[in-house]
């Protein structure tokens, strides 16, 4: 079953006897459709609440966010009314950063807090990025550098003018959001964090393990075969780990 409480949220596998909810946030340039097959791989009593950010897929005409803080300020009050069941938050790369700040915003509002945060392919937020900025590079240099650092850039974005006209501005906005983010120190979270990464990703195990500073609870780090976008080539181990932790 599928429903939409608002433009930001699509619910998959909605059912009255659901045990918990999993709010999902995509990587840069991605949309909610990346999670569409997940219900068949997760426990049947888990509802998937997919966050569709503006500027992508069916919301491609809407203005894109270029800063994390205003995005989270807009998202938190839309999520808050639906935290009446136990819930967790999953974020892939950029989504992990947004998910972390969303939980902090919910805490500030006095809302319910998650039973667990799942972060994939994202270093801990307090770590400072030392590589040169990307979002202002010309198109060809941007794609070359993204492919060198992360791989997985869809070739159709380079070849198809129509797709490129939509995808490139979205990708730039998302990268700008990541690169302009600055962690503001605060109280650590009070929920466990499961951190996943690719074995050949540039993000090291130490950078993943540094999420321990962000919580008073345990952090579990697992790495799977593949690079930054291992979800596209090797999703089964991640989905198995999610099922276990949920």
Evaluated on CA atoms 199, 205, 209, 211, the torsion sign reads: negative
Cβ atoms within 10 A of the Cβ of 83, count? Answer: 15
- 40, 93, 165, 240: which is the annotated catalytic residue? 93
Alpha helices in 45-198 (DSSP H): 68-79, 94-109, 139-149, 156-159, 161-179
Q: Is 93 a catalytic residue?
A: yes
Q: What whole-number distance in Å separates Cα of residue 34 and Cα of residue 50?
A: 9
Q: What whole-number distance in Å separates Cα of residue 243 and Cα of residue 240?
A: 5
Helix (H) or strand (E) holding 243: helix 236-245
Cα distances from 82 to residues 31, 87, 88, 199, 227, in angstroms, run 21, 9, 12, 35, 34
Cα distances from 128 to residues 78, 160, 182, in angstroms, run 30, 35, 8
Please give the positions annotated as active site: 93
């Amino acid at each position: 079953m599928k429903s939409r409480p608002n433009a930001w949220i699509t619910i998959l596998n909605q059912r009255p006897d659901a045990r918990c909810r999993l709010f999902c946030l995509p990587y840069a340039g991605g949309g909610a459709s990346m999670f569409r097959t997940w219900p068949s791989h997760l426990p049947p009593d888990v509802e998937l609440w997919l966050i569709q950010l503006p500027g992508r897929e069916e919301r491609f005409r809407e203005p894109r966010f270029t800063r994390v803080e205003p995005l989270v300020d807009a998202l938190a009050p839309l999520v808050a009314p639906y935290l009446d069941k136990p819930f967790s938050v999953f974020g892939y790369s950029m989504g992990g950063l947004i998910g972390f700040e969303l939980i902090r915003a919910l805490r500030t509002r006095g809302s319910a807090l998650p039973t667990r945060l799942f972060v994939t392919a994202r270093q801990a937020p307090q770590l400072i990025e030392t590589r040169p900025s990307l979002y202002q590079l010309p198109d060809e240099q941007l794609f070359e550098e993204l492919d060198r650092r992360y791989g997985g850039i869809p070739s159709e974005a380079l070849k198809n003018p129509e797709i490129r006209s939509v995808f490139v501005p979205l990708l730039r906005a998302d990268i700008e959001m990541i690169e302009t983010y600055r962690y503001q120190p605060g109280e650590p979270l009070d929920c466990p964090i499961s951190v996943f990464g690719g074995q050949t990703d540039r993000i090291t195990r130490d950078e993943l393990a540094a999420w321990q500073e962000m919580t008073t609870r345990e952090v579990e780090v697992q790495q799977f075969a593949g690079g930054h976008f291992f979800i596209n080539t090797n999703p089964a181990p991640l989905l198995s780990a999610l099922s276990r932790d949920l």
